[in-house]
Amino acid sequence: MYLRIIPKLDIKGPNLVKGIHFEGLRVLGKPERFARWYYEQGADELIYQDAVASLYGRNSLLDIVERTAKEIFIPLTVGGGLRSIEDIRQVLRAGADKVSINTAAMERPELIREAVQHFGSSTIVVSIEAIKRADGTYEAYTDYGRESTGVDALEWAQRAEELGAGELLVTSIGQEGTGKGYDLELTQQIAEAVSIPVIALGGAGCKEHVLEVVEKGKADAVSMASILHYDFINHTDASLDDFSGEGNTTFLSHGGGKPPISEMSLHDLKAYLSGSGIACRTQEAAV
Amino acid sequence: MTKKPEKARVAIVDYALGNLYSVQAACARVGMEAIITSDHATIDNADAVFLPGVGAFGNAMENLHRLDLVEPLKAVAAEGKTLIGICLGMQLFMSESYEFGHHKGLDLVAGETVPFENPRGPNGRLKVPQVGWNTIHPLEDSTAAWQESPLELVVPGSFMYFVHSFYVQPSAPKIWLSKSKYGDVTYCSGLQRDNLIGFQYHPERSGLAGAKIYRKLAEMIVKRKNGGDEQ
């Protein structure tokens, strides 16, 4: 059993963005460059998330997926605003291996079953965004944590499994983008309640956070964004790309505060985890 | 006169189970023209046939029967054309399965499909399905088979991407192409018997190592096609 480490790339228009609590999106660069770097560094899979999830501008996401799938041969999950079997088909046809769905599945859970019948369980990832309630339980949210649903996150996880979901991507909205660590309790509760794999997301700020969400949170796989993105930025010159007319690029042109994280490469992260007793896939044997 | 070698034309069998586009893209990358189809004539005319698939064994056989694909697939196997089963596709080669009851398979390869039962790792029980990367290894007594197989370009011990709850147990151990280990269970992760080739993992999602399998398959299929043309 090898831990899967899955960089998550939030995409708005043609750009990779990152926000805190899903708000205040900042342009970090071109997603394909990041994807390529992560692939070469030994990423086990990739997640692309359409950060605005509007149907308007979907073509730009499909283009990015198509370009990525041509040069990257690891599983690519794409999510954000997918509402129907036809939406899912489009993304798969563009080259995604799996899709993640949240809002549409919450509105009509049968969509999970239908999607599984069309594309197979291992193609369908249900994304659960959760916020802790005052009584310590968790509530599922949609629309990037903007809309409450009144649905208990743990019950929703079990329901999604019953409907055939192949995996669950579990995000703590409270931790997302903060760099303060994963929500261990949320991850553990869901991971122990279902038999399908749980991918933990939201809050990774350093390598120790990743270790603890596996050891204490019982995550089957881990996903993260900022700690990897800022490491890549340290290795590259984004000014080579053209960002005309797209989003808030102040960070790229002027630099500025980054979140409180200790960025590191996938390679170093895997070396740390392996040293701590968590088996990770090593780079493929040299050709 | 020597003919210009032709491009391999392969059929990817569409029986309404699973994401076939990844397989199509992987074929395209190594220069094969791949058509997703459930049409008998297209399958019959193809240079090789891919049988992918994810999901349940029973549903899969039901769909194959409903689309009248069982006999065409048996014909492909019988006439010696390369038939490549991926994941559930390979499991369907077997005579029978014990996935949610007892089902008859395509019966191309004697043996059965059985579930992972409480596989245990160093830290306790492992989840089923196995989702993720695992290594493939030659069998002690059949490294020769590896060398002459679609795995020829792959370094033994390479990582491949798996998603499955069941695995195949062919009656003839000699046809194992590779073995893998999930916790304390050692299982058959690939097989080859003449023109029948099966992979439990997804070479199309398995990085460069997987791409090497497609490259070798393309080479084998083209060689067979152009070799056949000369006769």
| pLDDT (0 to 100) of residue A238 | 59
| pLDDT (0 to 100) of residue B19 | 75
Mean pLDDT of B162-190: 94
**Within a 10 A sphere around the Cβ of A192, how many other Cβ atoms?**
12
**What six digits make up the tokens of A61?**
């996401």
| pLDDT (0 to 100) of residue A280 | 95
How many contacts does A have with B, using Cβ atoms within 8 A? 94
Active-site choice (B87, B103, B164, B188): B87
**Highest-scoring range by mean pLDDT, A103-107, A143-147, A231-235, B2-6:** A103-107
| pLDDT (0 to 100) of residue A134 | 94
Residue B109 half-sphere exposure, CB side, CA atoms within 13 Å? 31
pLDDT at A22 over 80: no
Percent of chain A with pLDDT over 90: 65
Q: Specify the higher pLDDT residue, B99 or A91.
A: A91
Which residue in this structure is represented by tokens 């279902």? A194
Smallest Cα distance from B2 to chain A, Å = 33
Percent of chain B with pLDDT over 70: 94
| Mean of all residue pLDDT scores within chain A | 89
Smallest Cα distance from B121 to chain A, Å = 7
Cβ B82 vs Cβ B195: under 8 Å? yes
Nearest to A74 among B19, B163, B205 (CB): B205
Dump strand ranges (E) for chain A. 4-12, 15-20, 23-29, 46-50, 76-79, 98-101, 124-132, 138-142, 147-152, 167-172, 198-201, 221-224
Residue A222's closest chain B neighbor by CA? Answer: B132
pLDDT at A240 over 70: no
A73: Cβ contacts below 8 Å, ≥ 6 apart: A39, B26, B204, B205, B206, B207, B208, B210, B211
| pLDDT (0 to 100) of residue B183 | 93
**What six digits make up the tokens of A131?**
């916020």
Active-site choice (B99, B103, B112, B202): B202
| Mean of all residue pLDDT scores within chain B | 91
The CA distance from A139 to A128, in Å, is 9
Q: From B190, B11, B46, B1, select the one nearest B109 (Cα to Cα).
A: B190
CATH superfamily of B9-225: Class I glutamine amidotransferase (GATase) domain (3.40.50.880)
In Å, how far are A75, B134, B213 from B210, measured between CA atoms?
A: 12, 12, 5
Give the confidence band of B231 by pLDDT, cuts at 50, 70, 90.
very low
With an 8 Å Cβ cutoff, are A284 and B158 in contact? yes
pLDDT at A287 over 50: no
Judge whether A82 is closer than 8 Å to chain B, CB to CB.
no
Angle between helices A266-275 and A226-234 (to 10 degrees): 130
pLDDT at B229 over 80: no
The DSSP letter of residue B93 is T
What region, left, alpha or beta, does residue A145 occupy, with left being phi > 0 and alpha being psi -120 to 50 degrees? left
| pLDDT (0 to 100) of residue B58 | 87
Contacts of A287 in chain B (CB under 8 A): 208
Give B109-141 pLDDT, tens digit per residue: 999 999 998 899 877 788 888 999 999 999 886
DSSP notation for B176-215: EEEEEEETTEEEEEEEEETTEEEESS-GGGSHHHHHHHHH
- Residue B129, preceding peptide bond in cis (omega within 30° of 0): yes
Q: Specify the higher pLDDT residue, B227 or B168.
A: B168
What single-letter amino acid sits at B228? G
Contacts of B25 in chain A (CB under 8 A): 69-70, 95
**What six digits make up the tokens of A210?**
């990743």
| pLDDT (0 to 100) of residue A25 | 80
Contacts of B133 in chain A (CB under 8 A): 2, 4, 44, 281
- Any idea which of A117-126, A155-164, A266-275 has the lowest mean pLDDT? A117-126
With an 8 Å Cβ cutoff, are B131 and A284 in contact? no
Judge whether A92 is closer than 8 Å to chain B, CB to CB.
yes
What single-letter amino acid sits at B88? L
Q: How far apart are the first and last CA of chain B?
A: 13
Contacts of A122 in chain B (CB under 8 A): 54, 129, 131, 163
Mean pLDDT of B183-198: 96
**What six digits make up the tokens of A162?**
């019953």
Judge whether A259 is closer than 8 Å to chain B, CB to CB.
no
Q: Which residues of B178-205 are buried (b: 16+ CB within 10 A; e: fewer)?
A: bbbbbbeeebbbbbbbebbbbbbbbbbb
Cβ A11 vs Cβ A48: under 8 Å? yes
Is B27 an annotated catalytic residue? no
Q: What is the residue extent of each domain of chain B?
A: 9-225
Which residue in this structure is represented by tokens 């809309």? A147
B122: Cβ contacts below 8 Å, ≥ 6 apart: none
Cβ B145 vs Cβ B178: under 8 Å? no
Smallest Cα distance from A94 to chain B, Å = 8
With an 8 Å Cβ cutoff, are A2 and B53 in contact? no
pLDDT at A118 over 90: no
**What six digits make up the tokens of A12?**
């708005």
Mean pLDDT of A164-183: 93
Judge whether A166 is closer than 8 Å to chain B, CB to CB.
yes
Q: From B10, B178, B167, select the one nearest B82 (Cα to Cα).
A: B10
The CA distance from A119 to B55, in Å, is 9
- Which phi and psi angles does B178 have, rounded to 5°? -155, 160
With an 8 Å Cβ cutoff, are A120 and B19 in contact? yes
Contacts of A6 in chain B (CB under 8 A): none
ipTM over 0.85: yes
Give A42-93 pLDDT, tens digit per residue: 999 999 999 876 555 677 889 999 999 888 889 999 999 899 999 998 999 8
Smallest Cα distance from A251 to chain B, Å = 33
In SS3 terms, A61-84 reads as: HHHHHHHHHHHCCCCEEEECCCCC
What is the bridge-based pairing of β-strands A4-12 and B166-170? Answer: unpaired
Give the confidence band of A285 by pLDDT, cuts at 50, 70, 90.
very low
Residue B210's closest chain A neighbor by CA? Answer: A73
What region, left, alpha or beta, does residue B11 occupy, with left being phi > 0 and alpha being psi -120 to 50 degrees? beta
Q: Which residues of B29-41 are buried (b: 16+ CB within 10 A; e: fewer)?
A: bbebebbebbeee
Residue B164's closest chain A neighbor by CA? Answer: A122
